[in-house]
Each structure stands twice: as C-alpha cells, then as structure tokens.
C-alpha cells in the first residue's frame, strides 16, 4: 500500500486555515500516488488545545471543520485527528479521535486508548480513553490505526511501562497488516532518535510495516519536530521526513524483496545536536511570534552571548528586517559590550539603536536617596538598572508593535540569576530551557563557517554589568559544574546525596539546590520558554511556590 504522510503545522483554533492546509496537502499526496493518506493527531483543532476543550463552541467548530474536510475528499481516504464527543456515560465528555474521510463522507472513526498525564501532557483531564480497538478494513487490508501514545507502550522497549494495555498488539491480534500512527509528539533534545528507535523496534518485533505522521511547528512552549517515518516489516526505514519543516511523503510500505535496501538506516541520518537545537528554537520563535499575531521582535543586546544567540535565531526565524536590537548602556557597561552588540547587528543586518538608561537611573537614585541613605549598595541598585531596561523595551514594544524576547538561559532561571520585571520582561523566553554550556556550543556552531557572533561575546567572562567588575562566577559556580548539577537535580530528579556521591562538592550542591528552591516564585512569573529538554521549567514541572520542603543532604 502507498501511504501519504502529511507532516503539517497547525495553529490551535484556526479551523479554516488548518482545513485549507490539510485539503491542499491531501490533494498533493493523491496526485503523488498515495492510496491512503494520514494527517497528525488533533490536526483540525491544533495540539494541545488545553482548556479550549471545555468550550462547546470550540468543539463544535472542530466538528464542522471535520465535516467540511470530508466534503472535499475523493476516492482516496484521508485519516485525520479531531475531537469527538463521547456519547458513553459516565466518562469524560470528549475523545481524542481519528476519522477516515472518503468520497465526501466520514466513513469510520476510532479514538485514543492511552492518555498521557506525565510531563507536559494532561489528556486525562479532557478525554475518555477508548475501551477497545479494531482494525479498519480498506481494499481488503486491515489497517491498525493508532494515535500517538498508543504506540509508545511496547514492553520490549520500555523497561517501565505506564499502561496495562498495548493497542498495537491488540490490533495485530485482530489481524492488522499495517500499523498507522497519527501523532503530535513534542520534541526535546534526543527525542527524534528515541522515537525512531522505538518505531523500528515495534515494526521489527511485530513483523509489520508501520508509518507514523508527526505534527511539526510550535504552540506556546511546545515544539513539534516532524521527522515522520515509514518502516518496513524488518524495521528498516523506508522514508524519514525532515525535521522542523512541513513535508509531504508518499511511501510504498511493502518493499519488494528485489528492491534496493532503503537509503535511511539508522539514527545517524539526523543532523548534529546543535543543528537540531538551533532549528527547534528558530521554529519556536517564528511560530510563537506569528501565531500570536505579531510580525517582528525586539530584544536587548548586551554584547553577551545569550542575547547574541537569540538575535541570530530571531533573524533566521523572522527575517533580519523584522528584528530590532537595542543596547541600553549605563555606568557599568563596558565599551566592548557596545562594540560587540553593534558588530553583531551589522553581521545580521538587523536594526540597531542605543538608548542609554543612565539619565533615568540617576533620576531614580535621586528619588530614592532619602530612604536609601545610610544603607550600603546592594542588589536593589543593581536591579533598578535591569528594570529600567525592561521599561524601555516594553515602551518600544507598545509603541511599535514588536514582541519582546527575553534573553535568560536555563542556568540563570534555575538559580534566580535574573531580575523580575527587568531582564525577565517580555513575551517569550527562547533559551529558558537551554543551559549556558549549550548556549556556548550552539553559538560556536553558528560560527562554524564564518564569524556571525563576535568572538569576544563567546570568549569573554559573562557578566550582568550591574556593578564594577561584576562576573557571573562571583555568585555562581563555573557553568560546567552548575549545569551538571542542574541536569541531575532538575531533569533526572536525583537527590542532593546522590549528586554528591557522583563527585560534586556538598557545599556547592546545597547552595545550588537552595537557589533553585527559593527562585520558584520568579519562574512562576516568567515568560513562556521553549521546551527543548526532557524536563523544562514551566508547564511540565509543577512545584508549589509556598512550600517548606527542603531536600536533605
């Protein structure tokens, strides 16, 4: 059977636009010879719709889009994800469903069996799981149609299974000859390899051809990478879509014995890690800005590596003509910082302006001098500078309509090395889930062919420049140590004692973990960050702010 895979980028709630994109892609797949076409999970409404699912008008609009899509189908079936009402009671009001559309009609539907509730997922909040599954018969073949998580429970691949059922095995037991999977599987570092390895294992062990179509694009914090794949019954990869772009694949699933071996054989087909991270973040910026109705972005350029990398990604995402870099120097800003910011802007071709905050800083100092008199300078004076920069950037945004990008990285966000209502001001934090050590790696990758980010921005000691001679390492351990501890504590959930047992200094571990705990209130008020790690701050990590648990060492 020749399967068409529509790796497309939906926008949540844009029913007409999603439908038009789907119908156009369907027509292209049919013209390319597809005999059966599949589109991603919940494509018609966009994923994840979250509490929009509590709105009756949203659900009805999704059902109307399904009917309108069906009306534009011909003899080649199209299977697409949508939200179905649950007629069985008691139970949740909705189902995460897939429908087969053909010759203007909705001819068959099924729903998702396994509803994830871990990390960023909360599907059990909205959907009723399917109690049973059965194949769909088309042209004499039994097709096992599954939805995303339904294929992620293979007992031979996962040492710890989350569900008692395995819908793939249930379908094969009923005679399914091909497994098709409609997915909206969000990306994080390394997931493209895990996903493909898991699909290969299922196809090989079950001796069945398999095709998965995955959504691409970004919605709020989540980035969907695509990398849709088709595999034969030996687990060999017949086709692998590109990552982070829309693509239509038309693939013959049942490779003949005399056919040459497939070109794509392993996860080595994927680009380098830095390439994937950069592409993911560029897509995240582009979709967040445009899906929120903006055309341009504004960011403060400090001359440092964080703002430099974000400027590069924003220019790639939106076009350099739609990025405005602003330097906001005060008394502690070095001349080199201004020079580096100006060189970067020139290299990128973005607009660049300098707005000194020193006059306003002086005025605020005068205003506060009566009450500050007799107290030593501390972070209060330092943070005034950061907040004045935030005020300026937001004023430019309000006046000219650009969306402000904040420039803090995950290392800083973790330990609270950031200023509320200051450098945290903005609508999107593109690298809030990127550790500082990875910021350096991606920046060097950016400069692999020519110098785009000034070398001084990469090599000079990082500094907030809020007091004389300030360096990040005055307040923090070296980033190589800090990031290793963060990976173990935040991502892998290890205890202090377990981290110390791996060779880290107990005093440093205790200090870092305390900073993480005490900074939760800041992160709760932070702009959304693009998720690129297995465990990001934000929607997938739900820690109370008002709590007294202090991990023991």
Which residues are catalytically annotated?
A: 41, 112, 148
DSSP-derived pairing of the beta strands 178-183 and 78-85: unpaired
> Could you tell me whether strands 323-327 and 351-354 are parallel, antiparallel, or unpaired per DSSP bridges?
parallel
Burial of 49 (0-12, 13-18, 19+ CB in 10 A): buried
Beta strands 78-85 and 36-38, pairing class: parallel
- The DSSP secondary-structure symbol of 270 reads S
Residue 439 has which token pair? 């910021």
**Bond into 90 cis (ω within 30):** yes
Task: 377-381: list long-range contacts, CB under 8 Å, 24+ apart.
Answer: 377/467
* Token pair of 507 as six digits: 């005093």
Torsion of CA 185, 187, 190, 195, to 10 degrees: 10
The vertex-466 CA angle with 329 and 442, nearest 5°, equals 80
Tell me, what DSSP letter sits at residue 102?
Answer: E
Edge to edge, the sheet with strand 78-85 lists: 105-111, 94-102, 78-85, 36-38, 2-7, 247-252
Encode 104-141: b = buried (16+ Cβ within 10 Å), e = exposed.
Answer: eebebbbbbbbbbeeebbbbeebbbbbeebbbbebeeb
Closest CA relative to residue 443, chosen from 335, 311, 531, 339: 311
- Rounded CA gap, 243 and 114, in Å? 25
45/14 Cα distance (integer angstroms): 7
Instruction: Report the 3 state secondary structure along 275-337.
Output: HHHHHHHHHHHHHHHHHCCCCCEEEECCCCHHHHHHHHHHHHHHCHHHEEEEECCCCCCCHHH
Instruction: Give the orientation angle of helix 479-486 with respect to helix 506-518, to 10 degrees.
Output: 70
Please name the residues in contact with 435: beta carbons below 8 A apart, sequence gap of 6 or more: 409, 410, 411, 479, 483, 486, 487
Q: Report the C-alpha gap between 381 and 212 in whole angstroms.
A: 55
* CA-based radius of gyration for the chain: 26
φ and ψ at residue 79, rounded to 5 degrees: -110, 125
Q: Is the dihedral of CA 186, 109, 112, 173 positive or negative?
A: negative
Walk across the sheet containing 297-300 and list its strands: 351-354, 323-327, 297-300, 403-404
Say how far apart CA 368 and CA 362 lie, in whole Å: 10
């Amino acid at each position: 059977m020749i399967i068409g895979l529509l790796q497309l980028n939906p926008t949540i709630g844009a029913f007409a636009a999603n439908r038009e994109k789907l119908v156009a892609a369907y027509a292209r797949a049919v013209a390319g010879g597809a005999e059966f076409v599949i589109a991603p999970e919940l494509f018609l409404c966009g994923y994840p719709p979250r509490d929009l699912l509590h709105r009756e008008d949203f659900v009805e609009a999704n059902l109307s889009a399904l009917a309108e899509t069906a009306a534009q189908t011909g003899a080649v079936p199209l299977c697409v994800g949508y939200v179905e009402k649950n007629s069985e009671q008691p139970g949740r009001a909705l189902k995460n469903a897939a429908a087969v559309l053909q010759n203007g009609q909705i001819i068959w539907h099924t729903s998702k069996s396994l509803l994830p509730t871990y990390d960023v997922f909360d599907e059990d909040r909205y959907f009723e799981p399917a109690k049973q599954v059965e194949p769909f018969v088309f042209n004499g073949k039994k097709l096992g149609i599954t939805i995303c998580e339904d294929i992620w429970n293979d007992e031979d691949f996962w040492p710890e299974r989350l569900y008692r059922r395995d819908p793939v095995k249930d379908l094969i037991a009923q005679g399914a000859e091909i497994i098709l999977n409609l997915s909206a599987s969000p990306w994080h570092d390394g997931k493209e390899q895990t996903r493909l390895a898991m699909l290969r294992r299922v196809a090989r062990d079950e001796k069945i051809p398999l095709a998965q179509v995955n959504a691409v694009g970004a919605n709020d914090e989540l980035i969907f990478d695509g990398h849709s794949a088709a595999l034969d019954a030996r687990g060999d990869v017949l086709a692998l879509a590109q990552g982070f772009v829309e693509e239509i694949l038309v693939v013959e699933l049942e490779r003949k014995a005399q056919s040459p071996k497939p070109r794509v054989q392993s996860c080595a087909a994927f680009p380098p890690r830095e390439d994937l991270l950069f592409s993911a973040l560029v897509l995240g910026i582009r979709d967040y800005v445009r899906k929120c109705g903006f055309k341009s972005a504004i960011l403060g350029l400090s001359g440092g590596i964080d703002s430099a990398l974000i400027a590069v990604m924003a220019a790639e995402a939106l076009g350099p003509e739609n990025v405005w870099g602003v330097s906001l120097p005060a008394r502690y800003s070095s001349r080199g910082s201004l020079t580096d910011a100006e060189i970067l802007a020139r290299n990128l071709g973005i607009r660049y302006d300098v707005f000194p905050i020193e006059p306003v800083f002086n005025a605020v100092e005068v205003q506060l001098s009566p009450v500050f008199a007799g107290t030593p300078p501390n972070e209060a004076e330092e943070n005034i500078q950061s907040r004045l920069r935030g005020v300026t950037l937001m004023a430019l945004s309000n006046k000219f309509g650009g969306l402000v990008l904040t420039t803090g990285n995950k290392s800083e966000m973790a330990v609270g090395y950031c200023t509320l209502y200051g450098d945290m001001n903005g609508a999107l934090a593109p690298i809030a889930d990127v550790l500082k050590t990875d910021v350096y790696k991606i920046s060097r990758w950016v400069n692999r062919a020519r110098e785009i980010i000034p070398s001084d921005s990469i090599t000079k000691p990082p500094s907030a420049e809020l007091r004389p001679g300030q360096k990040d390492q005055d307040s923090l351990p070296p980033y190589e140590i800090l990031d290793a501890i963060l990976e173990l504590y935040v991502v892998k959930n290890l205890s202090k004692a377990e981290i110390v047992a791996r060779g880290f200094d107990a005093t440093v571990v205790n200090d870092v973990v305390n900073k993480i705990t005490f900074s939760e209130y800041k992160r709760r008020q932070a702009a959304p960050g693009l998720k690129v790690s297995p465990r990001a701050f934000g929607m997938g990590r739900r820690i109370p702010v008002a709590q007294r648990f202090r991990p023991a060492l």
